[in-house]
Structure 1
C-alpha cells in the first residue's frame, strides 16, 4: 500500500478521527473502522475532511481484506478531492484504487486507472528503458507528473509495474519499476520488493526458455537463457534484501515480513542453483517468525503464517495445496500452531476471503496427516466462506478439489465426484483470468488445471465400472467426460499460447450439441477422443445421433482375457511407433508389428461401431503423447492394410474450435513461400531443402493465379505486405517449421536467416477485413517438433487455429525428399475436386503412395514411397470437410 493514514482538519469530529488513527496504529482495525465511519457521518457536508476519512477507511479496509468497501471508499475520496479541486490527491486515490484492483486479480483495470492504456507485450523494445512511457492526461501517472508530486508518481509507476508483472509482461514491469526508483533514488521499500518479484518471475521465464532451447538442441540459446536466468535471480535476491533493510530501518514490519517471505520463497524455489545459501535462508526464516509474532492482525499476518507453515527448503515449484509437501522446514507441531493461529486471526478480521484461505490451509494439513474428519471439517468451512457472496472464487475451486480428494479417501465416490465437478465448473469460470487474486502467483497449468480435470474424468469413468448404471445415466456421465476432456484440450492451448485468441473463436455450445446441430455435415464421421490418466488411457467414440461409447485401452492375451495397458507402456509403444516410422527411410520394407499392435488397442475395440459402409472419416481429438504420431499409419493385420486405406483421417484439438464447412475451391489464389537454402536461427543450423523447387513448381502448376516468395524474397515483411494487398485462400509454406515446448520457440524459417514467429504469422493473417477473406488452407511441409515434450505438438495442432486458419495440412516430422512434392501435388489435385473433403483429398494422395509398387511406370512414382515414412507424417488439422 502506497500511503499512510492522515489527520482531518475540522476540530469537532476530529477526536473520532484521532482515536481511529490510534487504533489503526495499534492494529485494532475493526475499532478504527467504527470511529472513522462515525466521523464520516458528521462530515457529510464537508468534502475536504470527508476525503481524508474516506482515504483512511480505504486503507483499513485493505488491511482487513474488505476490498469491495475499499473500492467504494477510494471512489468517494476521489469525488471529495475533485469537489475541492485537489487534483493531486485525485491522482493518488486513483493509484490506491488501482492497487486494490491489482490485489483482486484485475491488473488490466489497474493499468487503465494508472496510465489509461495497455502496452502490448509483442511491441515492447528489448532494450530496457528505451521505450518512453506515454500515459493519458487524466491518468494517475500524468496527474502526478503535472503536479510534480514525487510520492504520487512513485506510487503510480510502482503499482503500474506490479500490474504488468501480474499479467506476465515482465520487461514492461521492470521498466516502470525502475522509472519509479529513479524518481526517488533512496527508493521506496515497496518498489524494491516489486522489483524483486518482477526479476524473479522473469528469471523463471528465462529458465523455461533455456529448457525449450535444450529440447530443440540449440546449445548457444540454452546457455544465453541460463545466464540471463541466473543474473535475474541474483538481481531479485538483492532487491528483496534491500527492501527488507529499508522497511526495517523505517519500522515497517508488514513490509519487512513481505520482503522476508519473498526472499525465503526465492531460496526455496532455487535451492538447486543456490541463489541463496543455507545461512541466509535460515536467518530470514527466523526473522520472519519473530516479526510474525508481534504483527498486528492483518491479511499479511494470515498469509505469512500459512506460507511459513508450508515452507520447504526445496519446493517443487507447485501449489502447496495440490500435493502433500514432504520436507517442511518446521516441525508438524510448529506448522500446526501457525495454521491454527491464522484461522483465529482471520476470524477476528471477519474477512471471508482470509477465513476461507486459512480454513482451507488447515484442512490441507489434516488431509496430509490422514485425519480425514478434521480435514473435511475445515475444508467445508473454507468452501462455505469462499462461496459466501462469491467472495473468493479464485480459491473456491481449490477447496472443492480438496474436499473431493478427502471424500475419495473415505470411499464416498459419488460425493467426491460432485465436489470435483463443482471445482471444475468454478475453475472453468475463472480460468481466462489466470491470476490467483491476492496471492501474487500465477497458477501453473500442469499443477492445477490438468490434474483436476483428469481426476474428475477418471472418477466419472470409474463410476461407470461399478454396479448397474441405467443407460440414460451412463450416457449423461459419458457426455460430461467429453466436456471435461474438451475443456482440458482448450485450456492446454490457451496456456501454450499464453493468450485468449483461441477462445475468441470458440463455439459456445457443448460438444454433444455441436454433433447434433451438424449431423448432416458430420454424416459418415466418427470422433475418437483420448484421455490419458494415471495408470490407464481411455478412448471415447462419438457418432452423430448415437450414444457415446467408451473403452479403456486393453491388451488381449493368448488365453483370450484382456488386461488394461498402463499409460507408461502405451507411451513407450507410441515412442517406438514414431521411431520406427521416422527410421523407415533406412529400411526397404516397413515392419508393421508395432503399428498393428496399436491398431488392436485403439481401433479394433470399436470395429462394430465404425464399419466402413457407414463411417468414412475418423477425426482424432488426442491427449498428450498421442498427438505426436500419425494415426493414418496404424495397421490392420486382419485386413492387411493401413487405417488410411479404410478411413480418411483428420485431427483437431477440439470440435468447438472447428468450423465444418465446404467452400468453393475452383478459382483460388495461392501464396507460395519456399526456402531452398540452408539457414541458421538462434545458433541452430537448418539444412538446405533440395526438393523444394520441385514442390513449389508442382503447386504453381495447379494454382496459375499464384504469388511466390522464394529464398531471400521470403522474409517476414514481404509476407505481411502480400497479405495486406491480396486475399489468398491457400498459403503453401515449403520450409522448415519448428514447434518448441513454448510458443516463443515456434516459428517458420525464412530467407536471410530470419524467422516468422507465431505472433508475426497471426498479426499478418489478422489483417483480413472480414471472415470471408480469411485463409482457408495453410500447408506446412517440412516441420520439426521437439521430441520429448507433448506440448510441442500443441504448437502444430494449435498454430492454424491460433492464426485463424480454417484448415491446415502439416507434417509431424521433416521428410526432405521429392516424395513431399509427389504427395502435395496429388493432394491439391484432389482438393480442387469439388466433391472431395480435405481429409479425403489427403487420404487419396496417401493411398496412391501406398500403392506405389502397383502403379504403372507411366505414373512416375518411386516404388519406395509405399513406406509410411514418406506419406504418414502429413496430417489434416481443423476443418476436414
Structure 2
C-alpha cells in the first residue's frame, strides 16, 4: 500500500493558493495519451457501425460529448450484434471517455469494464492489435480511477499499460503511461517520487529531484545543467510539453520555485512552437501558480518590493490562461485563482464582478472533483476562510452571503453523491466554516464534528476541523459573557496542536519556502491555544505547563 506525507499534501494546497486541502486533478484527458487506438486495420470497413464510430470520435474530439455518447452507444451495440468484440471494445473505450467528460462516473466504469472483459487479458503471444487495445483500455480505466479519487488503482492500471506498450515497442505509449503514473503519484502526495519519474522519462536516469534541490550549489547547478541539456536533445512533441509542465509543477510543490519557473517557461516555449492551444493555456495557468508562490516567498523573506511585481506577473498569467483556454476546466481554474488573489490584495470589487461568470462556468462542468472543489474554493475565497481561522477581519464584499451558502450546500450534495469521503469532509467542513462566520454556533458545531468523523486518520484535514471546532465552542461559550476558556474548546485545540506537531516533523527536510507557508498558516492555532490555556485569573498548573510547551513548539515552528 502506498503511503503519502500528509505535510506534503498540506503544502500542495498552500503553494497552489487553494483554500481547500485536496488537490484538483486534471479531469480532461490529454490527447494522444488516453485515446484508444484508431488503426483502421482493427475495424471492419465501410459499414454502419464504422460510420457511427467515426462520427462519435469526431464529436468527442470536438468536445460535443452528448452527441459522442449517442453515436458511440450505437456503434458499440451494432458491433455487438455483428459479433465483432474488438471493434465493440474500441467503441466502448471511447464511450467511457465521453461519459467521464459528462461526469457519468458509474456508467463510465461499467462501460470500461465491459470493454476490458471483451478484450480479455492478452497472453504474451497475443496479436499486437489486442495488446494495444488492452493497453488503451487500461489507460482509460486509470483516467477514470484518478478522477474518482482512486489514485493508487490508477497508478497500477498505468503501470500495466506501460508494460504492454513496452512489449509492443510503442515509445509514445510507454512515455504517456509514465506521465500518467507521475500524475497518480502526485495525487497520492508522493511528490519526490513523481518528480523522479518525470526526470527518468526526460533524461533516461542519472538525475534526481534531491540532486536538483541539493544544498551544495555545485551539485545543484551541475544537475540542472545536465537536465537542461537532456531536454534540448528531445524533439518537440506534446508529450515533451506535458513532461516539462508536470516537472515544473513537482518542483513548485517541493519548494524549488525558481527552477519551477524556468522549467514551465521551457514547456510553454515547446507548446508555442507546436501551436497547441491546450498546452499553452495549461502552461500559463501553472506559471501563474509558480509566480504566486514566488510572490509569497518574497513576502516571507520580508521583500515587499519584490512581492508586488511577482504577484502582478501571476495575475497576468492567470488572465492569459483564462482568455486562451479552449478547455473550460483551465478557464475556470484560472478565474478561481484570479478571484482568490484579488480578494487577498483587497480588490474585492473585481472579484465580485467575476463571481457570476465563474459560478455559471462551474455549473456547466460535469459533476466531479473539479466542479465540487471549484465551488468550495470560490465560496472560501469570498468568505475569507483563512481569515476566519486567523480571527482576522473578513473581506468586505458586496455579495449576498446566501449565494455562498448555496455554493457550499451544492458541493456537499455533489460530494456525497460522488462517494469520496475526503472530498465530502472538505465540503461539509467548509459549510461549517460558513456557519461559523455567520455566528450560528450550533449548526457550525454539528457540521464540523461530521467533517472530523469523515476525515478519519488524515491529519492534514483533521487538524483543520479540530481547530475550527475549538473556535466554535469557545465563541459559543463567550456568548454567555464568560471569558474563561471552554473545556471542550481546549480539548479540540489540543488535538489540533498535537496533529500539527507531527506534521511539522514531516517538513524538516523540505525547502524553506514550504516551511514558511506551513508556519504562516498554522501559527494562529498555537497562539489561540496558548491564549485559551492562560485564560482566567488563576490558570491551573497543568495549563501553565502545557502553555509553556506550546510556546516552545511555536518558537520551533517559527525557526
TM-score normalised by L of structure 1: 0.46
Q: Is 1:416 aligned to 2:416, yes or no?
A: no
CA-based RMSD: 3.4
Give 3-state SS (helix, strand or coil) of 2:87's partner.
Answer: coil
Q: Distance in 2 between matches of 1:443 and 1:72?
A: 35
Q: 1:6 and 2:18 equivalent?
A: no
1:134 and 2:227 matched: yes
Give the corresponding residue for 1:255. Answer: 330
1:25 maps to what in 2?
101
Taking structure 1 as reference, are residues 444 and 327 closer, same or farther at Cα in structure 2, changes over 3 Å only?
A: farther
* Structure 2 CA distance for partners of 1:278 and 1:422, relative to 1, 3 Å: closer
Whose strand fraction is larger, Structure 1's or Structure 2's? Answer: 1
Q: Kindly tell me: are residues 103 and 367 of structure 1, through their superposed partners in 2, closer, same or farther at Cα, counting changes over 3 Å?
A: same
Residues 840-869 of structure 1: per-residue CA shift (max 9 Å, x gap): xxxxxxxxxxxxxxxxxxxxxxxxxxxxxx
Q: Does 1:268 align with 2:359?
A: no
Which structure 1 residue ranges, 5 or more long, are not aligned? 213-224, 436-440, 494-881
Distance 2:155 2:505 in 1: 23
How far off its partner does 1:442 sit? 8.1
- Change over 3 Å in CA distance of 1:398–1:463 after alignment to 2: farther
Equivalent in the alignment of 1:102: 186
Residue-pair matches, total: 446
Check whether the contact 1:363–1:374 (CA below 8 A) recurs between aligned residues. yes
**Which stretch has the larger CA shift, 30-39 or 288-297?**
30-39
CA gap 1:336/1:175 in 2 versus in 1, 3 angstroms? same
Quick one: structure 1 residues 394 and 375, their matched pair in 2 at CA, closer, same or farther if it must change by over 3 Å?
same
Report if aligned partners of 1:312, 1:329 keep a CA contact under 8 Å in 2: no
Give the structure 2 partner of residue 197 of structure 1.
289
Corresponding residue SS for 1:11: helix
Report whether the alignment pairs 1:311 with 2:386: no
2:366 matches 1:296: yes
Pairing 1:628-639 to 2, within 5 Å after superposition: none
How far, CA to CA, are the matches of 1:86 and 1:432 in structure 2? 43
Superposition deviation, residue 462 in structure 1: 4.6
Matches within 5 A, 1:180-219: 180-185=267-272, 186=275, 188=279, 189-209=281-301, 211=302
Indicate how the Cα distance of structure 1 residues 358 and 50 shifts in structure 2: closer, same or farther if over 3 A, else same. Answer: same
Q: Supply the distance in 1 between the matched residues of 2:387 and 2:131 (Cα, whole angstroms).
A: 46
TM normalised by structure 2 equals: 0.71
Structure 1 equivalent of residue 127 of structure 2: none
User: Does structure 2 conserve the Cα–Cα contact (< 8 Å) formed by 1:434 and 1:443?
Assistant: no
Equivalence for 2:121? 44
SS in 2 for 1:311: helix
**Matching residue of 2:503:** 430
Q: Contact 1:196/1:240 (CA < 8 Å) preserved in 2?
A: yes
Counterparts of residues 653-692 of structure 1 (less than 5 Å): none
Q: Cα–Cα, structure 1 residues 229 and 409, in superposed 2: closer, same or farther, change >3 Å? A: closer
SS at match of 2:121: coil
Displacement of 1:170 in angstroms is 1.5
**Larger relative contact order (C-alpha < 8 A, sep ≥ 6)?**
2
- Map of 2:68 onto structure 1: none
Aligned-partner SS, 2:500: helix
Structure 1 partner of 2:238: 151
Q: Secondary structure, in 3 states, of the residue corresponding to 1:113?
A: helix
Q: 1:89 to 1:149 in 2, by over 3 A?
A: farther
Call closer, same or farther: CA 1:80–1:300 in 2, change over 3 Å: same
1:244 aligns with 2:322: yes
Residue ranges of structure 2 left out of the alignment (5+ in a row): 1-25, 43-85, 123-129, 200-206, 478-484, 509-513
**Residues in 2 aligned to 1:243 and 1:434: alpha-carbon distance in whole angstroms:** 32
Aligned-partner SS, 2:381: coil
Q: Which residue of 1 aligns with 2:409?
A: 340
Q: In structure 2, do the counterparts of structure 1 residues 170 and 285 end up closer, same or farther at CA, with 3 Å as the change threshold?
A: same
Match of 1:362 in 2: 431
Counterparts in 2 of 1:432 and 1:100: CA distance versus 1, 3 Å:
farther
Cα 1:86–1:483 shift into 2, 3 Å: farther
Deviation, 1:22, is 3.0
CA-CA distance at 1:194 after TM superposition: 0.4
For 1:524-568, what per-residue CA distance to the aligned partner results, in whole angstroms no more than 9, with x for missing partners? xxxxxxxxxxxxxxxxxxxxxxxxxxxxxxxxxxxxxxxxxxxxx
2:229, 2:454 → 1: CA distance? Answer: 40
Q: Is the 8 A contact 1:321 1:361 kept in 2?
A: no
**Structure 1 residues 232 and 451 mapped into 2: Cα distance closer, same or farther (>3 Å)?**
closer
What is the match of residue 462 of structure 2? 396
CA distance, structure 1, for counterparts of residue 308 and residue 439 of structure 2: 39
Rg larger in 1 or in 2?
1
From the two aligned structures, give the one with the greater helix fraction: 2
1:476-495 aligned within 5 A: 480-493=546-559
After superposition, residues 685-834 of structure 1 pair within 5 angstroms as none
Shift of residue 417, structure 1, vs aligned partner: 2.5
Q: Quote how far apart the aligned CAs of 1:35 are.
A: 2.0
Of 340, 360, 381, 2:450 maps to: 381
Report the CA distance between 1:482 and its aligned residue.
Answer: 4.6
Q: State the alpha-carbon separation in 2 of the partners of residues 283 and 458 from structure 1.
A: 39
Q: Does 1:60 align with 2:138?
A: no
Aligned to 2:528: 455
Distance 1:154 1:191 in 2: 9
Displacement, 1:377? 1.6
Q: Distance in 1 between matches of 2:300 and 2:404?
A: 32
Cα pair 1:20 1:33 within 8 Å, conserved: yes
Residue 177 (structure 1) aligns with: 264
